[in-house]
A = this chain, B = another copy of it.
Amino acid sequence: MEQALATNPLVDLPSSREKILDVAEQLFSRRGYAGVGLREVADGVGLGKSSLFHHFRSKDQLYAELLGRVLRRLRNQLRPIVTAELAPAEKLVRWIEALVDALAEQPASARLLVRELVEDGQFQSEELPEAVEATQVLSEILGGIRQLLAEGIEQGVFRQVSIPHTVQTLIGATVYHFASGEFGDGLLGRSLFSAEAVKTRKQELIATLQQGWMA
């Protein structure tokens, strides 16, 4: 996180802009869009507040860009699984594992996503191009899992579950879980993101859901 960045003349881009996004991701994920002021973000980066506006047009745009970054990461890790040549049951297991891994790798992601899903989306309706792109990436991810489920049902390996409800259950069991912060830590008696807890989560999920959806 704190390597020598400025000393590398070739890829010094990850400097301020990325640092702002990193800090903002931590803060927004914990206390929400309205709960964090730009002053605090700037302080966390070690810049003046007005410097943020050199890199981003507005608070809205900063947030939208953040969301896009998180969603693109997820999409990139999940896409190859949907398009792979595998049996649906195997695909589903790998998809769940990959989603859990992706969420566990970057603890702020799940919280950010839950906030966005629970919010009455002011962002997708904005004319901000970054927000529009983020919405598209989300649609891609959803399309993938829907297709995966549809395949399995068509081939008769899954029960005839309701696809939208199943998607919701999956999101709840993964994204919500890793977004549950201190509450989840307290329930589990350890950090949600400890290697042990992540492994157990995968096992429990796959056992429950696979068994619950198999024909």
Contact surface of A with B, Cβ cutoff 8 Å: 30-35, 111, 114-115, 117-121, 142, 159, 161-162, 164-169, 171-177, 179-184, 187-189, 200-201, 204-205, 207-209, 211-213
Contact = CB atoms under 8 A, between A and B. Distances in A.
Contacts of A212: 207-209, 211-212
A172 B165 CA distance: 12
A164 B177 CA distance: 11
Task: Give the secondary structure class of A's interface.
Answer: helix
A172 to B, nearest CB: 3
Contact of A118 (B33, B111, B173): B111
B121 A182 contact: yes
A111 B142 CA distance: 22
Nearest to A209: B212
Contacts of A121: 181-183
Copies of chain A in the complex? 2
A131 to B, nearest CB: 14
Contact of A169 (B31, B32, B175, B205): B205
Contacts of A142: 187
Contacts of A208: 161, 166, 169, 208-209, 212-213
A141 B171 CA distance: 23
Max chain B C-beta neighbours (<10 A), residue from A168, A179, A182: A168
A31 B34 contact: yes
With a 10 A CB-CB cut-off, give which of A33, A117, A167, A179 has the most chain B CB atoms: A117
Contacts of A118: 111, 114-115, 118, 179-181
Contact of A30 (B30, B120, B184): B120
Given A172-B172, A173-B172, A165 B204 contact: yes
